[in-house]
Amino acid sequence: MFLVGLSGGIASGKSTVVNILRELGCAIIDADVLARQVVQLGTPAYNQIVHHFGEQVLLKNGELDREKLGSIIFSDPEKRALLNSITHPPIRRAMLKQTLWYFVMGYRYVILDIPLLFESRHLTRYMKHTVLVYCDPQTQVERLIRRSGLSREDVLKRLASQLPLDSKLPLADHVINNSGDRDSTRRQVLQLHARLEASLSYLPVRVAAVTMATGLVALVWILLRRLWH
């Protein structure tokens, strides 16, 4: 099995690409979903966030006010780094658990949907392939304004918290250009899927796992024979 890192930018259309991959039956680990799970009410990460950011980031029911927290970290790099230091370790642990599960289930590769894959570059070294969902900057800004209802100033501020998509282009092994319509994007995703399915990159890990399992069975057999005699 091998890992494929999928990333993009706010309003680049990454969710569209992920939905197409799900339709194709791909194994996908969504870092955003895990990020919400690890900060649920009462979790260690939740308690740390309340300790450092105060009750101002809570809703009336005690859950995190993600919009309020987002407005704080998008305008303050130090607080954004603090939040990342709280949430990233439990997110990585959850991703590892899911990856092992997909390995046991026999998947050839697992797609890790990580919005900040290229910003936190230490993660890319674990990926056999990296994929960038790209759209041109103007399209990205207009999409985010329509989707969020934010002002252009606030949208530009949020986009500034991530590397520009153009800067990520040379960092990616594969690029899906989502500046056009869905049909164009779907064709590119199908081509990528076919390329990954045809890859033999999963074999080394699979062979190593079979070898280890065979050795373990042999060891257990030897021990049992000694006990019987």
In this structure, the answer to whether residues 94 and 139 fall within a common structural domain is yes
Task: Report pLDDT digits (tens) over 124-145.
Answer: 888 999 999 999 999 999 999 9
In this structure, the answer to whether residues 101 and 85 fall within a common structural domain is yes
List the CATH number of the domain containing 169: 3.40.50.300
Q: CA–CA separation, 167 vs 118, rounded Å?
A: 10
Q: CA–CA separation, 20 vs 53, rounded Å?
A: 37
Along the 229 residues of the chain, how does pLDDT read in single tens digits?
A: 889 999 998 899 999 999 999 999 999 999 989 999 999 999 999 999 999 999 999 999 999 999 899 888 887 889 989 999 999 899 989 999 999 899 888 888 999 999 889 987 788 888 999 999 999 999 999 999 998 888 888 888 888 878 899 999 999 999 999 998 999 999 999 999 999 988 765 545 444 444 555 665 555 556 656 655 5
In this structure, the answer to whether residues 177 and 82 fall within a common structural domain is yes
Element (H, E) at 10: none
In this structure, the answer to whether residues 54 and 120 fall within a common structural domain is yes
Half-sphere exposure of 28 (CA within 13 A, CB side): 21
In this structure, the answer to whether residues 216 and 128 fall within a common structural domain is no
Task: Report pLDDT digits (tens) over 27-38.
Answer: 999 998 999 999
Token representation of residue 91: 């997110």
In this structure, the answer to whether residues 132 and 102 fall within a common structural domain is yes
Q: Which domain holds residue 49?
A: 2-198
Residues in Cβ contact with 106 at an 8 Å cutoff, skipping those fewer than 6 apart:
none
In this structure, the answer to whether residues 51 and 158 fall within a common structural domain is yes
Residues in Cβ contact with 79 at an 8 Å cutoff, skipping those fewer than 6 apart:
53, 72, 73
To the nearest 10 degrees (0 to 180), the angle between helices 77-104 and 44-53 is: 170
- Total of domains in the chain: 2
In this structure, the answer to whether residues 38 and 97 fall within a common structural domain is yes
In this structure, the answer to whether residues 161 and 223 fall within a common structural domain is no
The residues facing 27 across adjacent strands are 110
In this structure, the answer to whether residues 146 and 225 fall within a common structural domain is no
CB 137 within 8 A of CB 166: yes
